[in-house]
Structure 1
Amino acid sequence: MNPIVEALRAHGDRIAVVTDTQQVSYSTLADLVSQASTALGPERRLVLLEARNDLPTLVHYLGALAGGHVSMPVPAGGDHREILRTYSPDTVIDAAGIHHRRAHSTHRLHDDLALLMSTSGSTGSPKLVRLSHTNLASNAAAIAEYLGISETDRAATTLPMSYCYGLSVVNSHLLRGAALILTDRSVVDDEFWDLFTRHRATTFAGVPHTFELLDRIGFDSMDLPHLRYITQAGGQMAPDRVRRFAALGERRGWQLFVMYGATEATARIAYLPPELALSHPETIGRAIPGGSLSIRPGAAWPDGTGELIYRGANVMLGYAQQPEDLALGASVEELRTGDIARCGPDGLYQIIGRSSRFVKLFGLRIDLDRLQAALADRGVTVLCTDDGDTLAVAAVDAGGATASDVQQLTAIAAGVPAGAVRAVLVAELPRLVSGKPDYAAVRTLAAEPPFSDGSDLREMFADVLHLPAESIDRDASFVDLGGNSLSYVAMSVRLERALGRLPKDWHRMALRELEYSCTPRPRRRATVETSVALRAAAIVLIVGSHAELFALWGGAHVLLGVAGYNFGRFCLTPVPRLTRLRHLRNTMAWIAVPSIAWVAIALILTDDYHASNLLLANKFLGPHDSMTAGRLWFVEVLFWILVALTAVCALPGADRWERRRPFAFAAAFLALGLVLRYDLPGFGLGRDAWFTVLAFWFFAAGWAAAKATATWQRVIVTLVLVVGLHGYFNNSGRETLVLAGFALLIWLPALRCPAVVATGCGILAEASLYIYLTHYQIYPLFGDHRVIGVLAALIAGVALTYVVNAARKYVASVAAGSGHGYGLRSWCALVTRRFSIRKRRRPCDADSELWTAGRR
C-alpha cells in the first residue's frame, strides 16, 4: 500500500478539505490521490504543476508525491516558457487536467528527489531547489510541533501552493489530520472572511503585505471566535507592526508566530515564540525543532555578527540549473543563508543585513543579477541593488526612457509594486577602481530626488507640515505624516509647481515613491486639483455675496460636498479602528478650536455672536431669530456631522462594513440624507428647526463621490444630486451653481490653468477657514466700498493663516527640540511622529476647513 495514501486514509472521515462548494473527508481525499497517482503512471516522471488553491491542484500534488514522481509547482497563468525549455517536463498538469508530453520519461531522477521549487520570484530563473521526501516530512513535522497543530485545526489558504510558505501550510496540516480551507481569494474580499468564519477556521498565514491589507479592512475589530494563531514569514515585518499585531492577538485570544525561512530549507528555519513577540519583535527567534543556527564570522562584519548558517534534515539536496542536476544526490550539508545576523544573550537571532545578490521583497526572492539580465534583454542597461525594502536601479541614459519608465519596467520584471523601485538615469554606470560595479554608488544616486531644480521633497514636506526634516520617513505618505486638508492644499500647490503634474492619489503615495514617479516638467501652465479650485472659488463667492458685491449663492453647499469628499479621501483611511477614532477626534478639534477662539474674541469686541456660539450649538440652543443663527451655521453643521459619524465609526460592525464596501456604506448615508432632505413620513423633522440634519445630504454626496471608483457609481451620485437639488432652494440659478460644482468634483479631478491662477487658488483655499471665520467682522468696516471690503476680508484671512502657520511651525520646532509642546499643532506633530511615522498609521484629513459660508 502507498504510505502517503494510507497516512491520509488513517484519519478516516475527518474533514480534510473545505472549498466554496464542497467538503472532502480524509478517506475520500485518499481515494482521489490514489486515482491521480494511477493516472500519472507507474514510471517516475517530471511533472510541471500549475498550482491553484483548489482541490484538483492538491490532489495532483499529493498524487505526484504518492506515485514517486517529481513535481514542479508553478503559479497558474504565469510565463513558464523558460522552465519548459530548460527542463522539458514529461507531464504538465493544468486546470484542464493531466497532459503527458511523452510516453516515457527522458529524465534521470534521483531516488530521493521529490519536489523542485523556484527561489527567484517572478524573474523566471530556471534555478530550482531540489527537495527530498525527507526534507518535506521533517519540515512539516517541525512546523506542526512548534505551532501545536492538532486535528481540530482548520487553516485557510492565503498564499499560493507554488510558494514554499503556502505549500508548507498544506504539508504541516495534512500531517496532523487538520483541515484545509482552500481558496484563492484575498484577505480583502468579504467572501474570504465569510468562508473563514462559516467553517470555523483557526489559522491563516501571511507575508508582510498581508498584514498591511489586514490594517486596511479593519481586522482589529473582526469577530473571529475560532482563530487560534496567525503566522508571518516571507520577509521581515516592521517591529512596530509585529508588536501591534502581537498585542492585538493577546487582547483577542490568538497568537502571532513570526517565522523565518527559505525555500532551500523546505520553508522554515526559525520561529519567534508568541510570548516573545512583544519584547523582541525585531528578531527571527530560534531554530525550529530538529534544526540548529550558528553565526559564521567574516572580516567585513563586526565581532558577534556574521553569515547565518542553518543545519537540519530539511536542508535541500542542492540546486538544479539544468536537467542533468536532477540525477544528483545531496550536495550540501548546511545552508548558508546569505543573511548577516547576530545572536543575543537570550539565544534569539536577529537579521541585520544581506551578503548575497538575492533580496526578498513582498515574499519574493529576487535574483538581482537575473533582473539586470532581464532588463538588458529589454534594451535597458542597468545596475540593480537593494536598499532595505526597495530596489535601487541606475540606468544608462540612452536618450529615450525616463526614470519613471525604468521604474515601471523594473517593477514589472521583478514582480513588485512600482513604489518598491527607485530609479535614476546616469550617463555612465558607476564602477569601482577595479572595474566592478559600484553598488554603493547606485544606492546613493537613487537616493537623490530627481528634481531638476535640486529641491528636496523631504524639505518641502517638512516646511508644509511643520516637522523637522530629519524626522520625515521617506517610506511614509503625506497622510502618514499627519497631513490634513489645510496642509493638503498647500502641499498640492507646491508639489505641482515642483513636479509639473500631480500623480493620482499622491497623498497616499510613499514619499520615496512620489519622488521617483514624476520627472519635473516646469511649465507656464499648471494643474490644480478640482477640490482646491472649488474651495478658492467658493470662498470668494461667499464673501462677495455676504458683502452684497454680487449675489451668487450656493458656494457653501458646494464646500459642504467638498468636506464630505475629503472626509472620504482622508478620514476613512486603512488604519485600525481606534486610530481612526483618534484621528476623527483630532479632526473635530481642528475645526472647533479656531472657531471657538475667534468667537471668543468677537464676543469681547462686538455683539455679533451669542454665548451659544462658543459651544457651536446655536442651532440647538438659539437664539434662532438673530444673525448669529446664520453666520456660523456651516461650522456647526460640519462639527455635529463629524460627531455623529465618529459615533458610527466606533461601532465595530459599521467599521468593518465601511472597509469592505466603502461606496455602498457612503451611498447608504446618502440615501439617509435624502430621506431627511425630503422630511419623509416617520421622521417628523421640521426643515427650519433641523437645518443641520437636512444639510447632511450634501456632505454625504461628497463622501459618496470620493468612494465612487467606477463610472456607474459616479453616474448614480450625479443623478441623486440632480434629483435632490430640484426645488431645494426654490432658485434655479443657485441649484445650477451647486450642481455644477458637484459635477466638477465628481467627474473632473484636476483643472489646467495658468500657473499664477493655480498659485492663487492654493493660497485662497489654504486660508479659506480663516477667511470664513473673520470676514463677517472685516468687510463691514469698509461700508459701501464693497470691492475693497471683499479684498480686505480675503487678505485678512490669508494674513491670519500665515501668522497661525508661522506660530505652529515655531511651536513644532520647540516641541521637537524639547520633547514638549503647547497647543493643538504641536500635539498633532508629536502624535504624528509617535504614531504615523514610527507605526505607519494613516491619520485622517481633519478637513480643518470643512467649513464654509452661510446659507442666507
Structure 2
Amino acid sequence: MLITPAPCPDTKAVPFARHLAAFGDRTALLTHDGEVSYRELAARVADTARRLGDGRRLVLLAGAHTVDALVTYLAALCAGHPVLLVPGDNPGALGSLTAAYDPDVVAAADQQGTWTIHERRAGSAHTLHEDLALLLSTSGSTGSPKLVRLSHDNLQANAGAIAAYLGIRADDRAVTTLPMHYCYGLSVINSHLLSGAGLVLTDLSVADACFWDLFRETRGTSFAGVPYTFDLLDRVGFADMDLPHLRYVTQAGGRLAADRVAHYAALGRRRGWDLFVMYGQTEATARMAYLPPERATSHPHAIGIPVPGGSFRLQPHPDWPEPDTGELVYSGPNVMLGYAEDPADLALGRTLGELHTGDIGRRTPDGLYEVVGRVSRFAKILGLRVDPERVESTLAGHGITAYCAGADDRLVVAVLGGTDATRVRRLVARDCGLPPRSVHVRIMAELPRLPSGKPDYRALREPAPEPPARSVPSPGEPVDATRLCRLYAEILDRADVTEDSSFTSLGGDSLSYVEMSLNLEQLLGPLPPHWHTLPIRDLLRPEEKRSPTGRARRLPGIRTLDASIALRALAIVCVVGSHIPVFHIKGGAHLLLAVAGFNLARFHLTSAGRRDRARHAGRSMLRIAVPTMAWTALMLLVTEDYGLPTLLLFESFLPPRPDHIAPFWFIEVLLFLLIAVVALLSLPAVDRLERRYPFGLPMTLMAAGLLTRYDVLGLREHIHLPSAVVLPWLFALGWAAAKASTARQRLLVTAAALATVPGYFSGEPAREALIMAGFVLLVWVPSLPSAAPLNRVAGVLAGSSLYIYVVHWQVFPRLDHISGWLALIASLVAGVAYATVAARLTRAVPAWRRSRA
C-alpha cells in the first residue's frame, strides 16, 4: 500500500490522512479550477506536512471549502500536529480562540483571499498529549474557549463507521453543503477521503440554482443537510429535479419533523435515492446513530440504531420514570477524550469513557431508539447547538441582563427597555455563529418570571406582538446596514428586517420596488442590476455576481433606469394623454398588463415557500384593490359616474353598454389574473411544476390563452367574453419574459409576442407597435442609460401609476375644456398626491394597531 510520507513517522497520526496515495489516480477533489487526483492530493499533503515540521505543534486552521484548507488539515493530521479548527468566515471566533489557546501555527486566507501558513514560533508553547488530533467547538459555540478534544482513533473510527453504514463507494461524489468546521460537515470530508471517494468543494447554497447545475455537472451522488436545508429544498422544487446520479441524502444537526422524514423518505423511494436520518454530537466526533432508510417511512420519529462499533444505554432519570426511557448514554471508539477549557488541558489524555448526551431517549420494542426530551436547556437552531445559559452569561459580561430560550428555529433573547436591540442581536449572532435573522430580541419592561422568582422561559417562547415600525432614517445619518434595515422596515412595513434580508425575501412587490429603488439610489448612488435579490449587507460594498462555478464577476455601476420603471412611467402618461386626449398614443394599458406579468414573476415567484408566495402576492393585491375601491366609494358620494359594479371591481365582466367603457377594466383584469395565478400555484403539483419549469409553465399558459385570444371555440357569438378572459396570453408573456434566462428563451418569447399581438387591435397598427416595442425592450434591455433627475421623475410616475389611473377619470373632465395639457399635468399630480396619502395611511394604520396592542 502506498503511504503518504510524513516528517515524523513515529508520531501518532490519523491513518486515512497518511493513506491517500493508495487511491492513485482516482478523483479526490472537484473545484471550479479543475480536478485533483488522490495522487496529487497526497503529494501536496506531504509537501505541507514537511513545512509544518518534525516537532508537534498546535495548528489553528480557518476552515473553508478550498483545496488549500483541506490540504493543510490533512497535512496536520498526517504529521501528528493537533488541529484547532475554527470557522474561516468568522474573524471574531478566529481572534478569540487565537488569544485563548496561543496556537503555534495559524493557517488562514488573508484579506485578499491568499492562503497563508503563519508560523508564530519554531517549536510549541504547549504540552500536547500524544493522542490529541483535533479540537472542535461544540456546534454553534464557535467563539467559546470550551473545546472538544478528539483523538486520532476517534476520527478514524467514526469516519469508518459512517462509510460502512452509508456504503460509500469509490465512485461516490459528495457536494459540500455544510461548513468544514462543523463536525457534521467535517464527517462528510473524512468518511469520503477514507473511502477513496470524491468531494465537490463549493460554498453555493442548495437554494441557488447554480448549486444544482454544479451537482449535475460533477455527477454528485450525495449531499448533507440540517432541518433548515430541507425547508430550502421545498422552496426550490427539489422533489421534481432531475438528479440522475443522486444515491442518498443525509440529515442530522437537529430533529427533522416526523412528517418531513416520512415525506422525504417516500420521495427518495420514488426517485431512486435513500434518506439517512442520523443522530450525533461533536463530543462523539460526529455520529452516534442512524435510521436505516427502509425504516424511515414506518418509524420517522426514531434516531435509529447505534453506528457500527457504538452502543447506547438508558440511564434512569427522575423526571422521566417511564419504562425503557432515560438519558441516552453512548459508548464507542468515537467518544471524545474530554473537554478543553484552556491550553493546559491540551496535555490531558482521556478523562471520560462514555458520553452522557443530555437527551432523554426511549427504546422501542423493535430495537430502535427515539429522543423524547432534553435534560438541559440546550437548543438546536438551524442545526447549531446553542447553550442559552452561556448566551446570558456573555451578555452579562457586556452589562446586559437578559433571558434566553430556543424556540423552533430561532433564539429568543429578552432584554430590558432601553437596551439597544441591534447591538444585542449582533453580539449573540457573533458569539453563537447564528445568522442575525435567527436571533429575535424582545425589549420588555420587565423580564418574565414565575411566582417562585425563577425565569419564565415558557413565556419567552410564546409569540410576541409585532414591535412598532421603525421610522425612515433622517438626512445626515451615516449610511450603514442599520440605516438600510430601517428604510426597508419602513417601506415594506416589516419588523423582521436583518442585514441578510433582501427586497424579494421581505415580500417586496412592483409598487414598493419603485419607492425603494429611489430611496436607495439617493443614499447609495447607482444601484447594481438585480439589487432587489441582494442581501442588504451586500448593497454597501462593490457588488459581485457569482458564476455557477463560484467565480466572481464585477457588475457595472453606471447610472441607469430599470426598463420596467421606464415602461410604467411612459405607459401611464400615454394612457391619460390618450383619454383626454392631447395625443393618440394608445396601447399603454395593455403594455402595463405585460409588465404586470413580468413583475409578478420577478417579485413573487422566488425561491420562497408556497405559502409565503401566496401571502406576499395577496398583500400586493390588497395594495391594488383597496385604494381603487376607497376612491370609488368616495366618488359614489359626490358624483353619479360610478355604480355598485364599479365599486366591486366587476364592471368589465358585465355585458358592455352603448357608449360606456368600464373605467377600471385594467385593474379588474389585473386582479382577476393575479387571483387566478395565485390559486393555480397554491396547488402543490403546480407549484412544483413552476419551480422545475419556470419558463415552460408560463409559455404553456400563454399557448392556452391563445384559445380565447383568437376565439378558437367561437364563444363570442354566444356570450360576452370579458377582457379578463381574453388577455391572459399577454400577462403570461410578461411572466415568461421575466423567467427567460437564456438567449434562446428570450428569442422564443419575443417571437411569440411579435406573432400574437398583431391583429388584436384591428386597424390600429400604431397601438400594436407600441405594445411590441415595449415588450421587446422589456425582454432585451433590462436597464436604460439615464440621469438622476430623469430617474426621479420616472420613478414617481411609475410608483404612482395605479393611483394616476384611478383618479384621472375624475380630474381631466373638469379641466380639458381649458387645456388638454393642463388636464394631463393635473391628472398626474393628483395621482401622485393620492399615492402619497395612501402610502402614509398604509404605514400609519399597522403602526397604530401595534401601538394599541
Q: Partner residue of 1:49?
A: 61
Letter in 2 for 1:12: G
Pairing 1:308–2:398 present = no
Taking a change above 3 Å as real, the CA distance of residues 293 and 539 of structure 1, as seen in their structure-2 partners, is: farther
Out of 540-549 and 193-202, give the one that drifted further: 540-549
- The correspondence of residues 699-778 of structure 1 with structure 2, limited to 5 A, is 751-754=838-841
Q: 3-state SS of the aligned residue for 1:628?
A: coil
Q: Partner residue of 2:281?
A: 262
Shift of 1:373: 2.5
Q: 3-state SS of the aligned residue for 1:69?
A: coil
- Give per-residue Cα distances to partners, 1:119-164, cap 9 Å, x unaligned: 1415621111000000000000000000001111111111111111
Q: 3-state SS of the aligned residue for 2:351?
A: coil
Task: Give the Cα separation in 2 of the matches to 1:756 and 1:68.
Answer: 62
Taking a change above 3 Å as real, the CA distance of residues 187 and 449 of structure 1, as seen in their structure-2 partners, is: same
Letter in 1 for 2:412: A
Aligned identity (percent) is 44
Task: Give the Cα separation in 2 of the matches to 1:197 and 1:340.
Answer: 41
Match of 2:665 among 542, 547, 556: 556
- Give per-residue Cα distances to partners, 1:209-267, cap 9 Å, x unaligned: 11222222221222111111111111111222222211111111111111111100000
Match of 1:94 among 83, 108, 123: 108
Taking a change above 3 Å as real, the CA distance of residues 239 and 642 of structure 1, as seen in their structure-2 partners, is: farther
Gaps of 5+ in 2: 7-14, 110-114, 469-506, 510-535, 537-602, 613-618, 634-641, 698-706, 802-811, 813-819, 847-853
Q: Partner residue of 1:24?
A: 36
Task: Give the Cα separation in 2 of the matches to 1:114 and 1:634.
Answer: 69
- Give per-residue Cα distances to partners, 1:779-814, cap 9 Å, x unaligned: xxxxxxxxxxxxxxxxxxxxxxxxxxxxxxxxxxxx
Taking a change above 3 Å as real, the CA distance of residues 448 and 20 of structure 1, as seen in their structure-2 partners, is: closer
**Maintained 8 Å contact 2:381/2:408:** no
Q: Partner residue of 1:439?
A: 457
Shift of 1:350: 1.5
Pairing 1:198–2:221 present = no
- The correspondence of residues 411-560 of structure 1 with structure 2, limited to 5 A, is 414-416=432-434, 420-431=438-449, 436-443=454-461, 446-449=462-465, 530-533=623-626, 535-536=628-629, 543=646, 555-558=664-667, 560=669
- Give per-residue Cα distances to partners, 1:556-583, cap 9 Å, x unaligned: 335545666778888668977565679x
What is the alpha-carbon root mean square deviation over aligned residues?
5.3
Task: Give the Cα separation in 2 of the matches to 1:436 and 1:288.
Answer: 40
Shift of 1:633: 2.4
Taking a change above 3 Å as real, the CA distance of residues 675 and 757 of structure 1, as seen in their structure-2 partners, is: farther
- Give per-residue Cα distances to partners, 1:442-488, cap 9 Å, x unaligned: 34xx4453689xxxxxxxxxxxxxxxxxxxxxxxxxxxxxx9x9xxx
Task: Give the Cα separation in 1 of the matches to 2:419 and 2:447.
Answer: 16
Letter in 2 for 1:317: L
Q: 3-state SS of the aligned residue for 2:234?
A: helix
Letter in 1 for 2:199: L
Task: Give the Cα separation in 1 of the matches to 2:76 and 2:161.
Answer: 23
Task: Give the Cα separation in 2 of the matches to 1:709 and 1:391.
Answer: 41
Letter in 1 for 2:720: T
Taking a change above 3 Å as real, the CA distance of residues 757 and 634 of structure 1, as seen in their structure-2 partners, is: farther
Taking a change above 3 Å as real, the CA distance of residues 751 and 330 of structure 1, as seen in their structure-2 partners, is: farther
Taking a change above 3 Å as real, the CA distance of residues 82 and 756 of structure 1, as seen in their structure-2 partners, is: closer
Gaps of 5+ in 1: 453-482, 486-503, 514-525, 589-614, 649-657, 726-730, 760-856
Pairing 1:392–2:412 present = yes
Task: Give the Cα separation in 2 of the matches to 1:709 and 1:642.
Answer: 21
Shift of 1:553: 6.9
**Maintained 8 Å contact 1:419/1:510:** no
Shift of 1:689: 8.3
Q: Partner residue of 1:801?
A: none
**Maintained 8 Å contact 2:757/2:768:** no
**Maintained 8 Å contact 1:384/1:394:** yes
Shift of 1:388: 4.3
Match of 2:360 among 314, 321, 340: 340
Taking a change above 3 Å as real, the CA distance of residues 449 and 34 of structure 1, as seen in their structure-2 partners, is: same
Task: Give the Cα separation in 2 of the matches to 1:97 and 1:709.
Answer: 42
Task: Give the Cα separation in 2 of the matches to 1:671 and 1:740.
Answer: 36
**Maintained 8 Å contact 2:207/2:232:** yes
Q: 3-state SS of the aligned residue for 1:268?
A: coil
Match of 2:295 among 276, 280, 296: 276
Taking a change above 3 Å as real, the CA distance of residues 132 and 139 of structure 1, as seen in their structure-2 partners, is: same
- The correspondence of residues 6-25 of structure 1 with structure 2, limited to 5 A, is 6-25=18-37
**Maintained 8 Å contact 2:279/2:303:** yes
Higher relative contact order, chain-length normalized (CA < 8 Å, sep 6+): 1
Taking a change above 3 Å as real, the CA distance of residues 576 and 118 of structure 1, as seen in their structure-2 partners, is: farther
Match of 1:215 among 209, 234, 238: 234
Taking a change above 3 Å as real, the CA distance of residues 694 and 228 of structure 1, as seen in their structure-2 partners, is: farther
Pairing 1:81–2:95 present = yes
**Maintained 8 Å contact 2:31/2:200:** yes
Q: Partner residue of 1:469?
A: none
Letter in 1 for 2:285: T
Taking a change above 3 Å as real, the CA distance of residues 13 and 165 of structure 1, as seen in their structure-2 partners, is: same
Taking a change above 3 Å as real, the CA distance of residues 263 and 273 of structure 1, as seen in their structure-2 partners, is: same
Q: Partner residue of 2:207?
A: 188
Letter in 2 for 1:439: Y
Q: Partner residue of 1:634?
A: 724
Letter in 2 for 1:429: L
Q: Partner residue of 1:369?
A: 389
Q: Partner residue of 1:229?
A: 248
Letter in 2 for 1:687: Y
Taking a change above 3 Å as real, the CA distance of residues 756 and 280 of structure 1, as seen in their structure-2 partners, is: closer
Shift of 1:115: 0.2
Shift of 1:535: 4.7
- The correspondence of residues 770-789 of structure 1 with structure 2, limited to 5 A, is none
Task: Give the Cα separation in 1 of the matches to 2:212 and 2:247.
Answer: 15
Q: Partner residue of 2:480?
A: none
Q: Partner residue of 2:378?
A: 358
Pairing 1:687–2:754 present = no
Shift of 1:623: 5.8
- Give per-residue Cα distances to partners, 1:186-220, cap 9 Å, x unaligned: 22233322322222121111111112222222212
How does the TM-score come out when normalised to structure 1? Answer: 0.63
Task: Give the Cα separation in 2 of the matches to 1:46 and 1:324.
Answer: 13
Task: Give the Cα separation in 2 of the matches to 1:32 and 1:119.
Answer: 30
Shift of 1:536: 3.2
**Maintained 8 Å contact 1:121/1:415:** yes
Q: 3-state SS of the aligned residue for 1:10?
A: helix
Q: 3-state SS of the aligned residue for 1:81?
A: helix
Shift of 1:429: 3.2
Task: Give the Cα separation in 2 of the matches to 1:368 and 1:252.
Answer: 40
Q: Partner residue of 1:34?
A: 46
Task: Give the Cα separation in 2 of the matches to 1:750 and 1:250.
Answer: 56
Task: Give the Cα separation in 1 of the matches to 2:658 and 2:391.
Answer: 65
Taking a change above 3 Å as real, the CA distance of residues 616 and 191 of structure 1, as seen in their structure-2 partners, is: closer
Task: Give the Cα separation in 2 of the matches to 1:25 and 1:227.
Answer: 22
Letter in 1 for 2:666: H
